[in-house]
A and B are shown apart, each in its own frame.
Chain A
Amino acid sequence: MRFELQVALRFLQEGRVQTALILAGIGTGVGVIIFLSALIAGLQESIIERTLGNQAHVILQPPDEVARPQLDRANEAILEHVQRPAQRLRSILGWPGLLTDLRRRPEVVAATPTVEGSAFALRGTANRSVALRGVEPESYAGILDLRSKLTAGTFDVTGTHAVVGVELAKELGLAVGETLRLVAPNDRSEVFTISGLFDVGNKDLNLRWVFISLRAGQTLVDLSGGVSTLQLKVRDIFRAEEMAQEIRAATGLKVDSWMTLNAQILMGLRSQSSSSVMIQFFVIVAVVLGIASVLVVSVIQKGRQIGILRAFGTRREQILRIFLLQGGLLGLAGSLAGILLGTFLALAFQSTATNPDGSPIFPVALTAVLYVRSVLVALGTGLVGSWLPARRAAALDPAVAIRYE
Chain B
Amino acid sequence: MSEATAVLELRGVRKSYPGAVSTEVLHGIDIRVDRGEFVALVGPSGSGKSTLLNILGLLDRPTSGTVEILGEDCTGLDDAGLTKLRGRSLGFVFQFHHLLPAFTAEENVYLPLMADKGHFEPGMRERARDLLGRIGLEGFETRLASRLSGGQQQRVAIARALAMSPALVLADEPTGNLDQASGQQAFQFMRRFNRELGTAFLLVTHEPRLAALCDRTLTLVDGRIVGGETGPKGSPAVA
**Any chain A CB within 8 A of the CB of B115?**
yes
Asked if B83 and A316 make an inter-chain contact with CB atoms under 8 angstroms apart, the answer reads yes
The residues of A that contact B79 with a CB separation of less than 8 Å are 316
**Any chain A CB within 8 A of the CB of B138?**
no
With A3-B117, A6-B120 as known contacts, state yes or no: A13 contacts B102, CB within 8 Å: yes
**Any chain B CB within 8 A of the CB of A340?**
no
Asked if B83 and A313 make an inter-chain contact with CB atoms under 8 angstroms apart, the answer reads yes
Asked if B100 and A312 make an inter-chain contact with CB atoms under 8 angstroms apart, the answer reads no
CA distance A14 to B112 in the complex (A): 20
* 1/0 contact string of B51-73 vs chain A (CB within 8 Å): 00010010110000000000000
B50, B101, B160: the one within 8 Å of A14 (CB) = B101
* Interface residues contributed by chain B, number (CB under 8 Å): 34
**Any chain B CB within 8 A of the CB of A304?**
yes
13 more CB-based (< 8 A) A-B contacts, given A13-B102, A312-B92: A3-B115, A3-B118, A11-B102, A14-B101, A14-B102, A312-B87, A312-B115, A313-B86, A313-B112, A315-B83, A399-B60, A402-B94, A403-B54
The residues of A that contact B60 with a CB separation of less than 8 Å are 397, 399
**Any chain B CB within 8 A of the CB of A43?**
no
Give the residue name and chain of the B residue nearest to A302 (CB): B100
CA distance A311 to B157 in the complex (A): 12
**Any chain B CB within 8 A of the CB of A2?**
yes
A305, A311, A318, A405: the one within 8 Å of B86 (CB) = A311
CA distance A24 to B170 in the complex (A): 44
**Any chain A CB within 8 A of the CB of B189?**
no
CA distance A233 to B39 in the complex (A): 88
Asked if B119 and A1 make an inter-chain contact with CB atoms under 8 angstroms apart, the answer reads yes
Asked if A313 and B164 make an inter-chain contact with CB atoms under 8 angstroms apart, the answer reads yes
With A305-B100, A312-B160 as known contacts, state yes or no: A6 contacts B114, CB within 8 Å: yes
Asked if B118 and A313 make an inter-chain contact with CB atoms under 8 angstroms apart, the answer reads no
- Near A by CB (< 8 A), chain B positions 70-102 give 79-80, 83-84, 86-88, 91-92, 94, 96, 98-102
The residues of B that contact A309 with a CB separation of less than 8 Å are 100, 111, 115
CA distance A112 to B114 in the complex (A): 69
The residues of A that contact B86 with a CB separation of less than 8 Å are 311-313
**Any chain B CB within 8 A of the CB of A10?**
yes
Give the shortest distance, in Å, between B73 (CB) and chain A (any CB). Answer: 19
B-to-A contact residues, CB < 8 Å: 50, 54, 57, 59-60, 79-80, 83-84, 86-88, 91-92, 94, 96, 98-103, 111-112, 114-120, 160-161, 164
Which 3 A-B residue pairs are closest in the complex by CB-CB distance? A313-B87, A14-B102, A312-B112
Asked if B96 and A405 make an inter-chain contact with CB atoms under 8 angstroms apart, the answer reads yes
Give the shortest distance, in Å, between A53 (CB) and chain B (any CB). Answer: 57
CA distance A398 to B116 in the complex (A): 17
The residues of B that contact A161 with a CB separation of less than 8 Å are none
23 A-B residue pairings within 8 Å (CB atoms): A3-B114, A3-B120, A6-B114, A10-B103, A14-B101, A307-B98, A308-B99, A309-B100, A309-B111, A309-B115, A310-B59, A312-B86, A312-B112, A313-B86, A313-B87, A313-B116, A314-B87, A315-B83, A316-B79, A397-B60, A399-B59, A402-B59, A403-B54
Asked if A308 and B100 make an inter-chain contact with CB atoms under 8 angstroms apart, the answer reads yes
CA distance A2 to B87 in the complex (A): 18
Asked if A403 and B119 make an inter-chain contact with CB atoms under 8 angstroms apart, the answer reads no
* 1/0 contact string of A391-402 vs chain B (CB within 8 Å): 000000111001
* 1/0 contact string of A194-217 vs chain B (CB within 8 Å): 000000000000000000000000
Give the residue name and chain of the B residue nearest to A308 (CB): B98
* 1/0 contact string of A1-39 vs chain B (CB within 8 Å): 111001100110110000000000000000000000000
With A1-B120, A311-B59 as known contacts, state yes or no: A10 contacts B100, CB within 8 Å: yes
CA distance A3 to B60 in the complex (A): 25
Asked if A398 and B59 make an inter-chain contact with CB atoms under 8 angstroms apart, the answer reads yes
CA distance A405 to B96 in the complex (A): 9
The residues of A that contact B59 with a CB separation of less than 8 Å are 310-311, 398-399, 402
